[in-house]
Amino acid sequence: MRFFKVTIQTGGADATREVIVPSKTSVQAADAAAGLMKPGEAVLSIEESLDPDVQRYHRADGPPPGTQTKQDEPV
């Protein structure tokens, strides 16, 4: 599992926040970050976090993305 820093636009052009999510790929990192986003927010950038503390302690703001199979299961 890798860790990605996802920059999210929260309002105006300069209003952003960053979250760290675990994921196998950068595309899946966007899916993981989606669960932490509020309506109207958008992903601006995704980059792998090379911060040694994040890597060592697995410090993340949310869970990894779910699988499509799990998401498509009937409720």
pLDDT for 15 equals 92
Query: Please, what is the average pLDDT of the chain?
Result: 84
- Domains of the chain, each with CATH number or no CATH: 2-54 (3.10.20)
Percent of all residues in the chain with a pLDDT value above 70, rounded to a whole number: 88
Q: What is the pLDDT of residue 53?
A: 78
Q: What value, to the nearest 5°, has the Cα angle with vertex 56 and ends 22 and 34?
A: 15
